[in-house]
Amino acid sequence: MILELGGRRLELQHGRPLVMGIVNASPESFSDGGEWGTLDAQAERARALVEQGADLIDVGGESGVTGIDPLAPDEEIGRVVPLVERLAGDGIVVSVDTWKPAVAHAALAADAAMINDVSGLRDPALADECAAGGAALVVMHTRAQPKVKEFPGYDDVAADVLEFLHERLDMARSRGVAEEKLVVDPGPDFAKTPAETVEALRALGSLAELGRPVLLAVSRKDFIGALTGRPPHERLAGTLAAIGAGVDAGASIVRVHDVAATVDYLTVRAAFRGESEVSPSLRLPDDLRVSSRAPSSP
């Protein structure tokens, strides 16, 4: 499967997903709000994630946390665009998490390569912006308005995800977004209870009929917390379990907070599955034989 992203033509392979690192420029973020509070800190965080193995960075200027009024587009632009400019200037491939056409327009003018739309193209003008800017577009399943917590209920949530994404992909194509710039996302936790999210992800393999790469955005999500009883910063093990199942089912991009751990997980997984070559000369370097932690006191 081919994805055109940031001027590159990428051939995506089963079991070897792209890793999308998350940098939130939103102090209200559920997971790391305010942790990277300045432009310099956000840029430093993004560069660190790239060094850890991230293939692209997803920049968010507004949290999806519900019960908080949406930001005005100008305020979101002020959070996002300076960071996009700095990262793109460093040669980093940047995605921008937004559902507002005005923000998408400004981000693409600053050289963002992808718009990650968590509204499910509620405003088709977002697709117009991607078509005009030659950008990739993530189309996500949701039956709720942005920033509104709704659980509409489904007779068959997996069938609804598939039907919705078929419809929205057709809309994006009709607005001029090129086929090889389209990505789909089943929308874990968006307008879904934890049980509905699990049901939708169990059927992730059915999205193969859409013929487009699948973005798996499960990092630290509520459904993992519901399953494990863990708060956001303690959900890494659950996140990696969800990533493993999702990659088995065909996910081509994984969106994560913990890039280093994810890359390590995928590296070892690929070795055991015979998806990467393990040289007979592979050895552990001497400097990795001893823990770098200071010895505990007797």
Which residues are known catalytic residues? 221, 255
- Phi, psi values for residue 24, rounded to 5°: -95, 125
Task: Give, as one character, the DSSP assignment of residue 15.
Answer: T
Q: Which residues pair with 94 in a beta bridge?
A: 57
- Give the rounded distance of the alpha carbon of 168 from its chain centre: 18
Written as six digits, the tokens of 92 are 């980093």
Beta strands 215-216 and 94-97, pairing class: unpaired
Query: Degrees (nearest 5) of the Cα angle 23, 27, 32?
Result: 55
Residue whose token pair is 């995506």: 12
Strand locations in 161-247 (E): 182-185, 215-216
Whether 96 and 113 have beta carbons less than 8 Å apart is answered as: no
Give me the amino acid identity at 53.
Answer: G
Written as six digits, the tokens of 246 are 């999702």
Half-sphere CA count of 86, side-chain side, radius 13 A: 16
Q: CA 46 to CA 41: how far, in whole Å?
A: 9
Task: Give, as one character, the DSSP assignment of residue 80.
Answer: H
Nearest to 26 by CA among 91, 97, 90: 97
Task: Give, as one character, the DSSP assignment of residue 158.
Answer: H
Whether 21 and 57 have beta carbons less than 8 Å apart is answered as: yes
